[in-house]
Amino acid sequence: MKSLSILGATGSIGSNALEIIRQFPDRFTVNALTAKTRVAALARQIVEFTPRLAAVADAEHARQLKALLPPAAEVEIVFGEAGYVEAATCPETDMVLGAMVGAAGLAPTLAAIDAGKDIALANKETLVMAGAIVMQKVADRGVKLMPVDSEHSAIFQSMAGHGRNGIREILLTASGGPFLNRPAAEFTSITPQDALQHPNWSMGSKITIDSATLMNKGLEVIEARWLFGIDFSRIKVVVHPQSIVHSMVAYQDGAVLAQMGVPDMKGAIAYGLSHPERLPLDVPSPDFAHIGQLTFEAPDRERFPCLALAYRAGEQGGTLPAVLNAANEMAVAAFLDNRLPFVGIYPIIDQTLNLHCATTGPDLGQLIEADRWARETALGLIRRQER
Ligand code: NAD
Ligand code: MG
């Protein structure tokens, strides 16, 4: 029986995880659940999964949540960053599923590692921002860090039984997003509604926009750098519109191992939670004869300049990846809010990176300060182009 804390329970990853847990009540218990502001959904989850603790963004949402729960509900409600940290470090918890979106996941994830919890990590922004610190803590504390991002789960699975030494390169696959075949001239008219229509995956809004700009793949390159300790020059991106090959590892003898599956996050989430066991999931295997063709192509770095930006920030390192991530979060939020055009996302991140005086080998405080500075700077740039 594994006791779980689920951070970001009401999101796409969180609710898929609870769907798995519902199917395997003899394997998992839910000890803590967190959300930001979606208290109605969280209340329903609390009634069904009876966690000991629940955390939300602030006192007002804690009050609203309490009002939605039956009086007999035995759940402690906490809030704010301290509340999320409490949820991530409950004594009874064996494993924490990090499924919050954005840099907000960093503090609770670090606290969970410090408390000796195993981690299943979907929240890639945590590794982008502070990969060196996270991986060092994981090694020091001897906890298990399981990738939940489908590409990284695929790489992990394709590395099973092999040492890192024999790897020639990692091939991260990308669907290409909704604008894979849209001519550059039409990019100026892209609306949030257009960008939220992902061809293969149903996900939260932030990652869906990141998939449309290919920044998601850029963040994943940095995520792979830290998870697998492979240099950026040996991490390649290949566009694979069918999203069946979830990623591949090329070995020095020319062999390439891939992990395949239908585009359904339940596979990667369940594997993260139950490794080394594979659970009998309600997910079909790909029907290859029906799919017919698996195709691959190089990413178009001109229409999707965010990918090169992520490589640049990742290779230069220090505080730059944290700045990249924070500026991207601000630009994506502004785009979703109709305050920035789709083609405005890249320039905001690029200019913020250019304005940044990078620190090498930053400590946690310097990373948090770089994140704060980048948000403020990006916001200033967004406001300036609104005028
Ligand atoms: P989502 O928007 O659907 O859900 C996010 C969850 O985090 C919600 O429960 C929300 O309440 C909570 N949250 C959001 N902002 C928060 C904040 N500031 N403080 C505390 N809680 C907050 O997002 P998602 O699609 O489930 O993605 C979650 C993470 O997993 C992201 O880092 C994303 O990149 C990663 N991921 C998602 C998918 C996917 O298929 N959805 C795939 C791979 C990786
Ligand atoms: Mg992914």
DSSP for 20-38 reads: HHHH-TTTEEEEEEE-SS-
Task: Work out the average pLDDT over 160-174.
Answer: 93
Is 42 a pocket residue for ligand 1 (Cβ < 6 Å)?
Answer: no
Instruction: Give the span between the Cα atoms of 307 and 252, in whole angstroms.
Output: 26
pLDDT band at 165 (very low <50, low <70, confident <90, very high): confident
- C-alpha 168 – ligand 1 centre gap (Å): 32
Average pLDDT over residues 53-75: 97
Q: Do strands 256-260 and 245-251 pair parallel, antiparallel, or not at all (unpaired)?
A: antiparallel
The residue count of the chain comes to 387
User: Full-prediction pTM beyond 0.85?
Assistant: yes
Residue 9 Cβ contacting ligand 1 at under 6 Å:
yes
Centroid of ligand 2 to alpha carbon of 119 (angstroms) = 17
In this prediction, residue 164 carries a pLDDT of 86
Query: Which ligand lies nearest to the CA atom of residue 80 in the structure?
Result: 1
Task: Determine the residue of 61, 101, 121 to mutate for testing ligand 1's pocket, defined as the one with the most ligand atoms within 8 A of the Cβ atom.
Answer: 101
Residue identifier of the C-alpha nearest atom 41 of ligand 1: 203
Q: How confident is the model at residue 10 (pLDDT cuts 50, 70, 90)?
A: very high
Ligand 1 pocket, 125 CB below 6 A? yes
**Beta carbons of 31 and 51 less than 8 angstroms apart:** yes
Is 32 close to ligand 1, i.e. is its CB under 6 Å away? no
Ligand lying closest to the C-alpha of residue 263: 1
Ligand 1 pocket member 83 (CB < 6 A) = no
For ligand 1, atom 36: residue with the closest CA: 122
3-state secondary structure labels for all residues of 109-146: HHHHHHCCCEEEECCHHHHHHHHHHHHHHHHHHCCCEE
Q: What are phi and psi of 246, to 5 degrees?
A: -80, -15
Which pair of tokens denotes residue 227?
């998870």
Residue of 39, 84, 100 to mutate, ligand 1, most atoms within 8 A of C-beta: 100
The pLDDT confidence band at residue 58, using thresholds 50, 70 and 90, is very high
pLDDT at 150: 98
Which ligand gives the minimal distance to the CA of 152? 2
Atom number of ligand 1 nearest to Cα 16: 26
What are 326-371's pLDDT values in tens digits?
Answer: 999 999 999 999 999 999 999 999 999 999 999 999 999 999 999 9
Mean pLDDT value across the chain = 97
Query: What pLDDT, on a 0 to 100 scale, did the predictor assign at position 349?
Result: 99
> What is the structure's pLDDT at 271?
98
110-153 pLDDT tens trace: 999 999 999 999 999 999 999 999 999 999 999 999 999 999 99
Residue 100, ligand 1, Cβ within 6 A: yes
Residue 185 clears pLDDT 90, i.e. is over it: yes
Nearest-CA residue for atom 22 of ligand 1: 36
Q: Residues 49-63: what's their mean pLDDT? A: 98
Q: Which ligand is nearest to the CA of 88?
A: 1
Place of tokens 């990623």: 247
Q: Is the CB of 310 under 6 A from ligand 1?
A: no
- Average pLDDT estimate for 210-217: 98
- Residue whose Cα lies nearest atom 15 of ligand 1: it is 101
Whether residue 207 has its Cβ less than 6 Å from ligand 1: yes
